[in-house]
Amino acid sequence: MSARASTAVIALSTLLLGACDAKPPAAGTAADPVVASATFAERVAGAAAAANPLSDPRADVMAAIERMQAAASYAVDIETAAGNLMLEHVAPDRFRMTMPNGITQTILGDRMYMQMQGQSTQVPLQAGMLEKFRDRGRIAAGQQGTTIEPLGADSVAGKPARKYRMVHEDPDNPPAILWIGSDGYPLQMQVVADAQATTTARYSRFNDASIRIEAPE
């Protein structure tokens, strides 16, 4: 994967995939899986939603984005047709992405390091690239042209969630499905470019102090 592509993947995950203009990598998983019957977690989530209904799906999605951006750290497992990518983030500007081909890319502010076959090389990173992708005003403006449809209660790995479909005004920006956990953080996002190209991101380890990202030796 090129430096440009890896930066796009980082931006994709940082902005919940559907909130930026980056195109997702192709994947072969099916989009928006259908659950045959309600699980216990789904029934709990449904009861919670009924007790405290959210009248504004857009506000719920934007709140999840804000909460994620305010987190001290998090991890994202990104599933693509080529394999899984693991992205880790430590605020404000540290990222580490481990790719299935054994290459690790680390970003520390405006510096990016590529580790491959035991060697580490520093690669220039376009000035302001990550700041642009994390700009709250830009994200909010981008979401104004997005239709957000609530899909009710669901669950991800046994955790109750609220599920939303996001359809962007720009036809080149594919639709996405977002699951938000009961704590307000995103749990999962699927971006569907077409029937044969789905990227799934699973979010975890929010505010985990054990995530540390340093310059490679």
CATH number at residue 186: 2.50.20.20
How many independent structural domains does the chain possess?
1
Query: Does some domain include residue 215?
Result: no
Range of lowest pLDDT (27-41, 118-132, 136-150, 168-182) = 27-41
What is the per-residue DSSP string for 153-185? EEEETTEEEEEEEEEESSTTS--EEEEEETTSS
Query: Does some domain include residue 18?
Result: yes
Query: Does some domain include residue 185?
Result: yes
In this prediction, residue 144 has a pLDDT band, given cuts at 50, 70 and 90, of: low
pLDDT value of position 204: 96
In this prediction, residue 11 has a pLDDT band, given cuts at 50, 70 and 90, of: very low
Which is higher by pLDDT, 31 or 109?
A: 109
Query: Does some domain include residue 213?
Result: no
Query: Does some domain include residue 214?
Result: no
Which is higher by pLDDT, 125 or 93?
A: 93
Query: Does some domain include residue 7?
Result: yes
Range of lowest pLDDT (27-31, 70-74, 165-169, 192-196) = 27-31
Which is higher by pLDDT, 199 or 142?
A: 199
Which strands make up the sheet holding 159-168, listed edge to edge?
119-124, 111-116, 104-108, 94-98, 83-90, 73-80, 197-204, 186-194, 176-181, 159-168, 146-156
Boundaries of domain holding 113: 3-204
pLDDT value of position 135: 59
| Tens-digit pLDDT profile for residues 20-76 | 333 333 333 333 333 334 454 544 444 444 444 456 898 998 899 889 989 999 999
Query: Does some domain include residue 177?
Result: yes
Query: Does some domain include residue 15?
Result: yes
Which is higher by pLDDT, 101 or 182?
A: 182
- Checking if the pLDDT of 165 tops 90, the result is yes
